[in-house]
Structure formats: C-alpha cells, structure tokens
C-alpha cells in the first residue's frame, strides 16, 4: 500500500462535520457557534485498502435485480433476544452498527456481553478505553467466558487491521470509535476527520469481508452522537442506548436501521452481574403497590411491535404561586398542555389554576398517542382524589374536541391487558368495528367522550 500524500489543513465543524477552508464563527450548516477546529487532512487519491481501486476495471458488474441472490436468512443470532429484536432479527453479515449512549450507561458492558454470548463465532473486541485486564474484570462480573472471544487494547487503525488479519474474526467490536486514529491523518483521535476516516476504513473492511462490525460511539451533552453527522450516514444501523443512570432499566432503540424497523425497542436491567434482558416489560413498568392510589392510571400501549402496560402518575395541586406549573417526565409537555386545555374547554374541569406534574413510571419515554386517555384519567383522578382500581386500564387517543379516537392494533392491547390480569379496559368506541369483544374475558368498555369514562369510573 503506497501512500503518496500531500498534507493540507481544513477547518471542521465539530458538531456537524462541515468542512471549510477558513475559520468561521457560526457554522452555516448547523448554526452552532465556535465549533470550527483546524485539522490536518491528507487528500490522497492513491490510498486504498483493498486491491479493488482500479476504476477502469470494476469488480462488480450491474445485475438484474431478479438475478441477485438474497442472503436474508444468513443473520447471526446474537443469543440476546432484545438485541435481535432491535436489529430486526440478528446481525447482518457485513453490517456496520453504531451503539451510542451517555458515559456509564452500559455500552461496553452490552458489547462485551454480546461478544461473550456469541460462542460459536470468533469475536475480536478492540478497546481503546480500557486495558485487557480491566475488560477481564468486567467479564468476571458478567460471569461469562468464551474461548472464542479475543480482547485487545489498541487505538491505532493500522494495528487493528493487522490484528484482524492475524486472527480472522467473525465479528469485530470497537470500543469506541472516538479513541481510534489512523496514521494517514494527522488530526488527534476523536476529531471529525479521524472519526470519518476510521469509520470509512472499517466500513470498507466490513463490506469486503462480510464481517459485522459493532462501533461504540460517545454522545455529546445535548444527546447527539459525538462526531460528524456523516458518521450516522455511513453506518447501516444506529442504536441508542438510553435510560436514566439512576433507573435500573436501560432501553435500546434503533434510530436508523437499514435491515429492520426502527420502532422496536429492547429493555435491559442493569444488575451487578451485567445487563439482564427484560422480556416482559409490563411487569417492570407497573409499580408493585397493592393499594390503589389516586393519580395513577394504567395505559395499554404499544412500542414497536410489542404491547405493554405502563403506569402514568399525575399530581394535581393548587398553584402555590401565580402561574401554575406544568411538568412532565417521559411525556411530551406540549401534548400534556393540549390535553389539559381539552379537559378545561370540552369537559368543564377547572385545571387552569392548578399545578400539574406528570410522570411515566420506569423512566421511559413513550410516543404512542394511545396513552392520552390514561394521562387524562390520571390527572382527573388526582384532581378529585378518587383512586382508580388496579384492575382497570385504558387506551385511546384524545382529539381536540374531547373525542376519543381509535388506536391501532387494539386486539393486541386488549390481549396483553387480559394476560396481565386486568379485569376492565376502556377502548375507543370506533375501534369496536370488526372486533369480537365476546372472545375476551376482560370487560371491554367502549367510550367515545372523556366525560363518559369519567362517569363510568367515578359514578
Ligand atoms: P459501562 O459499560 O462501562 O458504560 P459505558 O461503556 O457506556 O460508559 O458500564 C457502566 C456502568 O454499569 C458502571 O457504572 C457500572 C455498571 N455495571 C453494573 O452495575 N453491573 C455490571 O455487571 C457491570 C459490568 C457494570
Ligand atoms: Mg465504555
């Protein structure tokens, strides 16, 4: 490999990766201030990793789509059901997967667990952050061993490729992309041009050798993946590992996935022996209190393909100061304000002088609009100080005129509620079309207005 290179420098926005010939105060692309840093770049035309760089003699030729053999079934089963689900059925050979998350959330733990669980594949775990001994200690905590898992502490791209050549792994894990550096570029590790160059080399390797590569990425304080946006464009899949550090639960979501849906999520619990898969999320999202308390309502929700029941907690109290406070965790605040306005205007509940606090138990964020009905009910329950029986749950979206709008996959929601031992469920009346209520043992209430639910409940 001959590198005939001419060095030059350019300015890069550390936020979005925009390249500029001179320093700029405000990035014209992303609008951030003071993000431009000068980096030395090597612009060279003759650099290539494989032999396939001769443009006049391409190795691939165009094929008819019907002639292309599909290798859909050849996914690697990671032995981790939650991860398989998020990936859309397992690791695709040759895919580049980026796992992002805050420090301490458990990215390294997750990656090591995946590597140790893949017993029948040889994995190379490259860490630029920890020594091999530290990784071994982590492995001891997880309490799992695997002869096929190779660990190396390395940050140089060139050395990593020679380790790959010597060990010929089936899967490569890189912890983290921000610690890597290639000699081809003089910028420091973690800078935009280094991240971009290292990722593109790994991408080329992954595609040429059909080896899945897992990259761990840091995120910035406002929650974006550190490094250029281009990183997210280059990889096939972006997984976000999130959850409050104080909460025991961690959620893995795909924000981009070329080989599956992005609506799936995987739930884990951080224990002292590593991450445990939570296969029945409803159990953890419902608080284990036996007595029914006012201000809580349970929603039959769906996230991705999976139904589960979530507990909504509301606290309504008279505003101590002039302007009432509205605050919400895990639920969109604007939507909460809208629902409160609907209650005020359409159902005649006086809430404008009240503080309203809303919380979704378990520290998760929910995007399913069907949660609306439970939100409203929890607010009313707290306002009137009348508790709702533990055996009742709700599903339904609320429209601006106070109507309860139909939701998708009602069958699944009812079945899940029934499975978990609920006795009554309130569903939108419009969902009853084509639905055979008699097949359920749970009592199904069909409702079309908020007031109707209130009358049935608090009568
Ligand atoms: P880590 O994987 O190092 O996070 P990241 O790579 O995202 O920075 O894990 C971080 C936290 O998990 C750490 O605070 C300790 C905790 N932890 C456990 O609670 N149990 C365990 O078995 C392990 C390995 C870690
Ligand atoms: Mg780590």
- pLDDT tens column, 177-191: 999 999 988 888 888
Does residue 12 have a pLDDT over 60? Answer: yes
pLDDT of residue 49: 54
Does residue 224 have a pLDDT over 80? Answer: no
Tokens describing residue 144? 């799992």
Q: Which atom of ligand 1 is nearest to the CA of 107?
A: 7
Report which of residues 371 and 103 the model is more confident about. Answer: 371
Question: pTM for the full model?
Answer: 0.73
Regarding the beta carbon of 136 and ligand 1, being less than 6 Å apart is answered no
Regarding the beta carbon of 377 and ligand 1, being less than 6 Å apart is answered no
Q: Which of 33, 30, 31, 38 is closest to 12 using CA atoms?
A: 38
Regarding the beta carbon of 389 and ligand 1, being less than 6 Å apart is answered no
Question: 48 is in which domain, residue-wise?
Answer: 2-55
Q: What is the pLDDT confidence band of residue 375, given thresholds at 50, 70 and 90?
A: very high
Q: In what order do the strands lie in the sheet with 36-43?
A: 19-20, 6-13, 36-43
pLDDT of residue 216: 93
Percent share of the chain, pLDDT over 70: 89
Q: 259, 279, 299 — which closes off a domain?
A: 279
What is the Cα–Cα distance from 374 to 335, expressed in whole angstroms?
13
CA dihedral (406, 410, 414, 419) in degrees, to 10, reads -150
Residue 135 lies in a domain: yes
Does residue 228 have a pLDDT over 70? Answer: no
SS3 of 45-63: the string is: CCCCCCCCCCCCCCCCCCC
Counting the structural domains of the chain, the total is 3
pLDDT of residue 239: 92
Regarding the beta carbon of 109 and ligand 1, being less than 6 Å apart is answered yes
pLDDT of residue 13: 84
Regarding the beta carbon of 106 and ligand 1, being less than 6 Å apart is answered yes
* CATH number, residue 144: 3.40.50.300
Q: 279, 311, 343 — which closes off a domain?
A: 279
Percent share of the chain, pLDDT over 90: 40
Cross-strand partners of 276: 269
Instruction: Name the residues around ion ligand 2, CB cutoff 5 A.
Output: 108
pLDDT of residue 76: 87
How many A from CA of 216 to the centre of ligand 2? Answer: 8
- Is 235 in the same domain as 365? no
Q: What is the mean pLDDT of residues 412-420?
A: 86
What is the Cα–Cα distance from 307 to 290, expressed in whole angstroms?
23
Q: 251, 279, 307 — which closes off a domain?
A: 279
Q: Half-sphere exposure of 392 toward its Cβ, with a 13 Å CA cutoff?
A: 20
- Is 259 in the same domain as 346? no
Q: What is the mean pLDDT of residues 93-105?
A: 90
**Could you say which ligand is closest to the alpha carbon of residue 178?**
2
Q: Which of 220, 218, 213, 217 is closest to 236 using CA atoms?
A: 213
Residue nearest to atom 25 of ligand 1 (CA): 274
Q: What is the mean pLDDT of residues 60-74?
A: 76
pLDDT of residue 198: 92
- Is 181 in the same domain as 266? yes
- Is 257 in the same domain as 287? no
Residue 65 lies in a domain: no
* CATH number, residue 367: 3.30.230.10
Residue 63 lies in a domain: no
Mutational pocket test of ligand 1: of 101, 103, 104, 106, the residue with most ligand atoms within 8 Å of the beta carbon? 106
Tokens describing residue 231? 């990183």
Q: What is the pLDDT confidence band of residue 433, given thresholds at 50, 70 and 90?
A: confident
- Is 17 in the same domain as 46? yes
What is the Cα–Cα distance from 417 to 426, expressed in whole angstroms?
11
- Is 268 in the same domain as 304? no
Q: What is the pLDDT confidence band of residue 52, given thresholds at 50, 70 and 90?
A: very low
- Is 116 in the same domain as 128? yes
110, exposed or middle or buried, with CB in 10 Å at 0-12, 13-18, 19+? buried
In this structure, are strands 392-394 and 354-360 parallel, antiparallel, or unpaired?
unpaired
- Is 260 in the same domain as 369? no
């Amino acid at each position: 490999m001959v590198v005939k290179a001419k060095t030059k420098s350019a300015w890069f926005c550390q936020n979005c990766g925009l390249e500029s010939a001179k320093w700029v105060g405000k990035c014209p692309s992303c609008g951030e201030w003071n993000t431009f840093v000068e980096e030395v770049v090597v612009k060279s035309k003759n650099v290539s990793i494989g032999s396939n760089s001769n443009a006049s003699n391409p190795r691939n030729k165009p094929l008819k789509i019907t002639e292309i053999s599909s290798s859909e079934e050849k996914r690697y089963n990671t032995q981790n059901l939650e991860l398989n689900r998020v990936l859309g059925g397992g690791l695709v050979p040759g895919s580049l997967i980026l796992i992002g998350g805050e420090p301490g959330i458990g990215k390294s733990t997750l990656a090591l667990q995946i590597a140790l669980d893949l017993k029948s594949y040889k994995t190379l775990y490259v860490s630029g952050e920890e020594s091999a001994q530290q990784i071994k200690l982590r492995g001891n905590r997880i309490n799992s061993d695997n002869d096929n898992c190779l660990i190396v502490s390395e940050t140089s791209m060139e050395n990593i490729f020679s380790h790959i050549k010597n060990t010929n792994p089936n899967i490569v894990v890189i912890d983290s992309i921000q610690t890597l550096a290639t000699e081809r570029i003089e910028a420091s590790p973690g800078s935009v041009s280094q991240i971009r160059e290292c990722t593109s080399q790994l991408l080329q390797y992954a595609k040429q050798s059909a080896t899945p590569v897992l990259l761990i990425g840091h995120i910035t304080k406002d929650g974006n993946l550190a490094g250029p946006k281009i990183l997210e464009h280059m990889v096939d899949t972006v997984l976000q590992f999130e959850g409050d550090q104080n909460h025991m639960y961690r959620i893995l979501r795909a924000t981009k996935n070329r080989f599956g849906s992005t609506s799936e999520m995987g739930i884990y619990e951080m224990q002292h022996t590593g991450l445990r898969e939570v296969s029945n999320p409803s159990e953890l999202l419902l608080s284990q209190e036996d007595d029914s308390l006012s201000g809580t309502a349970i929603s039959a929700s769906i996230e991705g393909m999976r139904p589960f029941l979530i507990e909504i907690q509301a606290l309504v109290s008279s505003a101590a100061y002039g302007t009432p406070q509205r605050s919400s965790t895990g639920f969109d605040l604007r939507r909460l304000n809208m629902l409160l306005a609907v209650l005020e205007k359409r159902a005649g509940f006086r809430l404008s002088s009240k503080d309203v606090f809303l919380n979704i138990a378990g520290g998760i964020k929910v995007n399913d609009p069907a949660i609306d009905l439970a939100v409203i009910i929890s607010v009313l329950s707290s306002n009137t100080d009348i508790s709702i029986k533990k055996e009742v749950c709700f599903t339904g979206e609320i429209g601006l005129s106070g109507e309860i709008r139909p939701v998708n996959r009602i069958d699944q929601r009812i079945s899940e509620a029934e499975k978990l031992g609920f006795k009554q469920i309130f569903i939108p009346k419009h969902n009853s079309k084509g639905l055979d209520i008699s097949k359920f043992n749970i009592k199904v209430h069909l409702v079309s207005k908020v007031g109707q639910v209130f009358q049935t409940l608090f009568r």
